[in-house]
Chains A and B, each alone.
Chain A
Amino acid sequence: MEQLIKVTNLSKKFGKNQVLNDISFEIEKGKIYGLIGHNGAGKTTILNTILGLMDYEGEIQVLGRDPYQERSELMQDIAFISDVASLPRFLKVQQLIDLVADIHPKFSVEKMNEYLQNSNIKFQAKVKSLSKGMLALLHLALVMSIDAKILVLDEPTLGLDIINRKNFFKNLIDDYMHDGRTIIITTHQVDEIEFLLSNVMFVRAGQIILNSEMEDIDNRYKQLIVNQDNVTQAAALKPVYQDRQFGQTIMIFDGLNDKELFGLGDVTTPNLSDLFVALMQQ
């Protein structure tokens, strides 16, 4: 698999605050990566260093370039949404399209028009008059109309209601995710993006504590709703997480298979948000 981004021993300090601590990972072509962590865990800092928006210690290669030194060249092949409200508000939608068409050599006006014709965004509307949901869809349409190799989305649906969030991700999957494109996405709505991820990275206190393909997570982690009589026996198997919910004891295990947990209770695969909570509390 072609490697698009290689991060080696990345560290970043803000004053005395160590935000990223010696992290390394790779991003491969054609996959959707979810970067998940608490507020302040370092997700946005990771993205900002990849996008060349800030300096860092360590080494980052994005499409063979140093992003901090070659951001503007790199932006021909990377599209990103860091804040859906960052579109220039003084422009009309049509002016914005014309502007991006003139600036970005890989922007397709035809695609953009196609996306907008299927929405209720008017070409003559001022950007500042659009609702949050419309702004998010407009920004998504703009970046999807760029023939970029990597799309980076940092909390793209923050502040949107559930319908607009669903529309956003639906459009992303239906209209963009083909031809070997790669997406890196951060969000707090873990459950809403779980279905579209091929890889996941959990970030905690500036370190990546999990970097795995979704398929491997299914095989590696098991959730057990423990029968009351077997709690002591299950606890002896060293769960990574244990909690009581609605009178039931729930445990999550790393690396055990169904056979080892057989008879102790109901075994399922934990969803991403449960696993996230489990690993964050380790």
Chain B
Amino acid sequence: MKYKSELAILKKELIEHKGSFFIAPAILSSIFFVLLLMQGLFGSHGQLVSFADEALIASYMSNTIFFAIYMGITLFFYYADAFSADRKNNSLLFWKSMPISDLKILGLKFIVGTLVVPIVILGWIMIGSVLSYLIGVINIGSFGEFIAPWTVILFILKLASVTLIMLLVVMLWLTPFYAWVAFLSVFFKKWSIALAFVIPLVLIVMEEIIFFDGLDHSFIGSFLSQRLVEIFDMTTLAKDSQLHEMDNINFDFEDAQRTTSFANIVIDKLYSNLWQLLSHVKWVSLMGGLIISGVFVYVGSEYRRRFIQG
């Protein structure tokens, strides 16, 4: 196989961090499962949703929000650890005895966080969604008609494909921030967590001291905050009429049609809005971020190659 060694490193990385990417999500999903079950058995039966497809969409959306936040936080700590983990667990010399460069090792660690972990997290979103949906169906017997299992699977796969694309785009957007903390960890190990915030803060304070013109006018501060959250071009996004069609959807269905109408409309809209949303992503800025991330990874790997022997 052509990329055997690369895949082996990716696999090793997932094994090394299985606690964050497999065990903790499994425990969290189990806790939610039990809580939802208990809520059904002992809690009040006030219903947020009335139909099975609404339960499915609600389950999926809530799991997506929860695991996306989980992923964002976990990846920060993953990157703060991954680039210095070989030193910390004393295996650096073992890796240096293998015919694989430091650049490749750190590059693959970075790819794990950027591209592989979102896929793993998507798996947990899907598992969590199915579990919450099943509990919802069991608890609330007053749903109209049940949705056939294969239709549920199809819906979840459709939703997952949209989520995957969005997760990957968001991860690519955030790479310079994650690369920054990973880069710092090569030099400062666990202190990278604090320094990832302290260094920009110091720069902002220095900027304020040198070019003082009011605390709300920090160029560095506003650039970083905008670069962190403004993935879309807000001026073109605000003018995009197609994206606002969701507000005008008529959800008043005839009962006979009700089984999957809501889910169908939501999924169709998500698909069409996805491509619209992607057209508003600041791709040039995203590419710039990828280049900066590459520089961070390269400089980190050169430092590891030249100065870290064990």
Contacts and interface: CB of A to CB of B under 8 A. Distances in A.
Given A80-B97, A102-B5, A53 B309 contact: yes
Interface stretch (B8-16, B164-172, B198-206, B230-238): B8-16
A64 to B, nearest CB: 16
Contacts of B284: none
B94 interface: yes
A55 B104 CA distance: 20
B239 interface: no
Contacts of A102: 4-5, 7-8
B8 A73 contact: no
Given A83-B90, A85-B90, A88-B12, A103 B100 contact: yes
A75 B5 contact: no
Interface string B191-235: 000000000000000000000000000000000000000000000
B101 A100 contact: no
Nearest to A152: B97
B65 to A, nearest CB: 31
A54 B309 contact: yes
Contacts of A104: 98-99
Contacts of B94: 86-88
B8 A103 contact: yes
Contacts of A103: 4-5, 8-9, 98-100
A100 B98 contact: yes
A90 B98 contact: no
Contacts of B93: 82-83, 86
B4 A86 contact: no
Interface in B81-109: 89-94, 96-101, 104
Interface in B122-147: none
Nearest to B306: A55
Contacts of A166: none
A87 B12 CA distance: 13
B158 interface: no
A73 B99 contact: yes
Given A75-B99, A83-B310, A95 B15 contact: yes
Contacts of A272: none
B244 interface: no
A72 B102 CA distance: 8
A16 to B, nearest CB: 18
A89 interface: yes
Among A54, A74, A98, A103, the most chain B Cβ lie within 10 Å of the Cβ of: A103
A48 interface: yes
A86 B90 contact: yes
B92 to A, nearest CB: 7
Interface residues of chain B: helix, strand, loop or mixed (majority): helix
Interface in A36-89: 48, 51, 53-55, 71-76, 79-83, 85-89
A3 B100 CA distance: 25
Given A86-B90, A86-B91, A99 B310 contact: no
Contacts of B4: 102-103
A66 to B, nearest CB: 13
Contacts of A53: 96, 309
Interface string A91-121: 1000100111011110000000000000000
B93 to A, nearest CB: 4
A83 B91 CA distance: 9
Nearest to A143: B97
Contacts of B310: 82-83, 86
Given A102-B4, A103-B5, A89 B91 contact: yes
A74 B9 CA distance: 19
Interface in B265-310: 305-306, 309-310
B101 A71 contact: yes
A73 B7 CA distance: 19
Nearest to A87: B94
A87 to B, nearest CB: 6
Among B89, B92, B94, B97, the most chain A Cβ lie within 10 Å of the Cβ of: B97
A82 B93 CA distance: 7
A143 B89 CA distance: 20
B97 A75 contact: yes
B197 to A, nearest CB: 29
Contacts of B16: 88, 90
B89 A89 contact: yes
A91 B96 contact: no
Contacts of B101: 71-72
A103 B7 CA distance: 9
A98 B9 CA distance: 11
8 contacts: A48-B309, A51-B97, A75-B96, A90-B15, A95-B12, A95-B15, A102-B8, A104-B99
Given A48-B309, A95-B15, 6 more contacts: A72-B99, A75-B99, A75-B100, A83-B90, A103-B100, A143-B97
Interface of A: 48, 51, 53-55, 71-76, 79-83, 85-91, 95, 98-100, 102-105, 143
Of all A-B residue pairs in the complex, the 9 with the closest CB atoms, nearest first, are A102-B8, A75-B99, A72-B101, A86-B94, A86-B93, A82-B93, A88-B91, A103-B5, A76-B99
